Amino acid sequence: MTAGERLRDVGEFGFLSRMLPTLPQGTEVALGPGDDAAVVDLGRTRVVACTDVLVEGSHFRRDWSGGREVGRKAVAVNLADIAAMGARTVALLAGVAAPGDLDASWLDALAQGMVEESAGVGASVVGGDLVAGDQVAVTVTAIGVLDGPLVTRAGARPGDTVAVCGRLGFAAAGLAVLQRGFRSPRALVDAHRCPHPPYAAGPAAAALGARAMIDVSDGLLADLGHVSDQSGVGVRVDPDRVPVSDQLEQMARGLGVDVRTWVFGGGEDHALVACFPPEQTMPENWTAIGTVVEGTGVDVAGWDSIPEGLTASAGFDHFAR
């Protein structure tokens, strides 16, 4: 960045696009930056690793979420990334910054939540760091292993079936409910506080021949846009096949919101989206929602235009104004 150039002007993706190519990669690196996780080849073992940072006021609020919920969420977002590579998580490291006047019981609950979410996939929290800070920030690094095929964002081919596993729009709806001062419906509010990604579906999809996969962290259209870009293909989505909960539709009407902004643009449920060969029978709990085509970008069949607030090209930018 040149002197006087602000990060908010460059944007998250603009900065990453020029910074990542400058990072040298060693001979053991099988897959460097740019996917849900990186892969290091250690001979008999392929290690998959990723990290995420949750910052108070940006990713959670302590008046909305307890320490347990924040701990589970911090772990869940990483477990979903590992699953999206077709891998399983075996260990996690956690770094926490917190102000000195924070109630210690909140940190006890944070640790409890981390342990609970990790135990659900048979992983262990093996270490970390605790430092002083002006606000709470939680960093989790997940370490996984590949028992089968590696699946990246770059393997989709024209003719493949695009399918989704997991909920869409619940976390975004829960955030909208909380922002309006409500605490129910609990199913939606709890989805924002702590997602429930379909972890086991990632390795299972890889074993069945999934060619590309990603977890929906930015929004369905935005994350399909990442697959489109990295695979060099187009993606055509049939909106009538995308699962939309009756509860979401009812809440959207009550709040005067276009439900599509939650289902197609909300990302924090961390559902998995994969591209399967056309001859592949859909695995259990996966729903076919579209097709990979020649070309570029994401097209939603029957939409004359993408509703305001949605994007099929980038994703959530932390520094967007």
Token match 């259209």: residue? 221
Q: Which fold has domain 161-300?
A: Phosphoribosyl-aminoimidazole Synthetase; Chain A, domain 2 (3.90.650)
The per-residue pLDDT for 74 is 98
| SS3 assignment, position 278 | coil
* pLDDT single digits (tens) 22-66: 778 889 999 999 999 999 999 889 999 999 999 999 999 999 999
Question: Could you tell me the sign of the dihedral formed by the alpha carbons of 94, 97, 101, 106, in that order?
Answer: negative
* Distance separating alpha carbons of residues 231 and 293, to the nearest angstrom: 11
Query: Cα 219 from chain centroid?
Result: 8
The pLDDT, as a whole number, for residue 175 is 96
Domain 36-145 belongs to what topology? 60s Ribosomal Protein L30; Chain: A; (3.30.1330)
Nearest to 166 by CA among 311, 268, 35, 54: 268
Q: What are the domain boundaries of the chain?
A: 36-145, 161-300
| Nearest alpha carbon to residue 296 among 218, 248, 231 | 231
Phi and psi (nearest 5°) for 228? -60, -50
Q: What is the pLDDT of residue 320?
A: 52
Residues in the chain: 321
pLDDT tops 60 at residue 316 = no
What is the tens place of the pLDDT at every residue in 188-243?
999 999 999 999 999 999 999 999 999 999 999 999 999 999 999 999 999 999 99
CB 186 within 8 A of CB 69: no
Residue 319 has pLDDT above 70, yes or no: no
pLDDT on residue 314: 44
Q: Is the pLDDT of residue 1 over 80?
A: no
Among candidate residues 2, 1, 3, the one with its CA nearest the CA of residue 12: 1
Is the pTM higher than 0.75? yes
pLDDT at res. 248: 96
Where b means 16+ CB within 10 Å and e means fewer, 241-252 reads ebebbeebeebb
**DSSP letter string over 217-276?**
SS-HHHHHHHHHHHHT-EEEE-GGGS---HHHHHHHHHHT--HHHHHTT--TT--EEEEE
Distance from chain centroid for Cα 225:
14
Least confident of 1-10, 147-156, 159-168, 215-224: 1-10
What pLDDT score does 25 carry?
A: 84
Q: Give every strand in the sheet of 287-293, ordered side by side.
A: 212-215, 272-276, 161-165, 287-293, 234-237, 297-300
Would you say the CATH fold of 161-300 matches that of 36-145?
Answer: no
Burial (0-12, 13-18, 19+ Cβ within 10 Å), 21: exposed
- Bridge partners of 89, per DSSP, are 144
For 65, the token pair is 């979420």
